[in-house]
Amino acid sequence: MQERDREKDKMFKAIVWDLDHTLWHGVLTENDELKLRDRMEHILETLDKRGILHSIASKNNYDETIARLEELGLRKYFLYPQITWARKSESIRIIQEKLNIGMDTIAFIDDQAFEREEAAFSNPELSTFDVDVIENILEMPEFMPRFITEESARRRLMYVDDEKRKEEEDKWGNTDIEFMKSQEMEFRISQATEVDLQRVEELTVRTNQLNASGYTYSYNELAELLQSPKHLLYVAELTDKFGSYGKIGVAMVEMLEDGNWNLKSLLMSCRVMSRGVGNVLLYYIINEARRQQKELFTEFLQTDRNRLMYVTLKFAGFKEFGDKLDNGRNLLRLEGDQEYNYPEYLKLGLPETVS
């Protein structure tokens, strides 16, 4: 079986919508009789269920616009709407930062060529579309994830929960250990089962910033690995008092011919980094390797977006080992004999020991 690199068909994670003459016919500030574009509510709902997020970049009056969206029953779909007279390039940048996703995973739909070009000029990785894309958007492969998992169907609601968490965090101060304890966080690591594979595939495709090796795996490839005696596949889930973040981490260990371990894949959703749990899955693998007296290696593919993962590995004790691999990745080896403690504010659920 051959692992696949990240280069594959583009999949969008979010759509930023213009409103006037785009989401609806007419101009709100000119008191036009607004009419939703055909099937628009169905389009928003369907894409939302696929895990594709929606936001707004519109030059309008905020309160009036929000009230109209409420009347239409559409307000719930839009995260972090930027309804302002500022440049749309700036509005989209704010949305991208709040969603914490790559600019290249955002589609911007606007009826005006000037607005599309202004947004793309300042955000070169942004994809822009005229309104004619709306008619067939539900059939476009860029908006059709291979699987709709429990996490993808709840993705918007997870962001809503995150806002509640942030509101409470702002009251406490984000460095207060007592605040972290108050969140009742539980981090569970388990060996993957067949029911996890759709989500694991989704994570390997969607995760860019905290993905060490950059490999992607199809469902069928993962099913083979699940049965392989030479591989261990782990998934991590985080919950707190607000609910579940879903499955947010994946680690795959390859058992080498000499008996040592290669951490073939390690990735973590960016959504949980602010929760102080980004290293837990890595620490578990390191501690297991030390317990079983295995040397631990990992492959790292350097990109312009995963520097944080590189820093994480270096702080954990990994150093470059040998020449660059034929696949363009660096081979890193864990040095030292340290074991790591887990954050005291976390309740941990760990899998049964493997050997």
Structural domains of the chain in order of their starting residue, each with its CATH number: 14-143 (3.40.50.1000), 150-349 (3.40.630.30)
List Cβ neighbours of 121 (8 Å cut-off, separation of 6 or more).
89
User: Residue 201 — φ and ψ, nearest 5°?
Assistant: -60, -45
Q: Quick one: pLDDT at residue 20? A: 95
**Tokens, residue 179:** 């605040």
The number of residues making up the chain comes to: 355
CA distance 232 to 18: 46
Q: What span, in angstroms and rounded, lies between the C-alpha atoms of 272 and 158?
A: 11
Q: Are 206 and 13 in contact (CB under 8 A)?
A: yes
Q: Say whether pTM exceeds 0.75.
A: no
Q: Which residues contact 7 (CB under 8 A, 6 or more apart)?
A: none
Distance of CA 31 to the CA centre of its chain: 39
Residue carrying structure tokens 């919508």: 17
- Pair 299, 331: CB distance under 8 Å: yes
Per-residue pLDDT of the chain (355 residues; tens, 9 = 90+): 444 444 445 789 999 999 999 999 999 988 778 899 999 999 999 999 999 999 999 999 999 999 999 999 999 999 999 999 999 999 999 999 999 888 999 999 999 999 999 999 999 999 999 999 999 999 999 999 887 888 888 889 888 888 887 777 677 655 567 788 888 899 999 999 999 998 888 888 776 667 888 888 888 999 999 999 999 999 999 998 888 888 989 999 999 999 999 999 998 887 776 677 878 999 999 999 999 999 999 999 888 778 888 888 999 999 999 888 888 898 999 998 888 999 888 999 988 755 4
Element (H, E) at 117: helix 113-122
Query: What tokens appear for 304 in the block?
Result: 């312009």
- HSE-CB at 190 with a 13 A cutoff on CA atoms is 15
Helix, strand and coil content of the chain, in percent to the nearest 5, comes to 40, 25, 35
354 and 288 Cβ atoms separated by less than 8 Å = yes
Nearest CA-CA partner of 82 in 97, 101, 71, 102: 97
Q: What residues form DSSP beta bridges with 265?
A: 252
Burial label, 76 (beta-carbon count in 10 A; 0-12, 13-18, 19+): middle
Listed in sequence order, the DSSP H helices in 6-58 are 40-49
Tokens standing for residue 336:
């030292």
Give the DSSP letter of residue 19.
T
Locate 12 and state its tokens: 């969008």
Query: Are 282 and 266 contacting, i.e. CB atoms less than 8 angstroms apart?
Result: yes
* Torsion angle of C-alpha atoms 285, 309, 205, 7, degrees rounded to 10: -120
> Is residue 289 within 8 Å of residue 317, measured between CB atoms?
no
* Integer Cα distance of 355 and 341 in angstroms: 21
Question: How high is the pLDDT of residue 145?
Answer: 87
First to last CA, the chain: 24
Tokens of 42: 């169905």
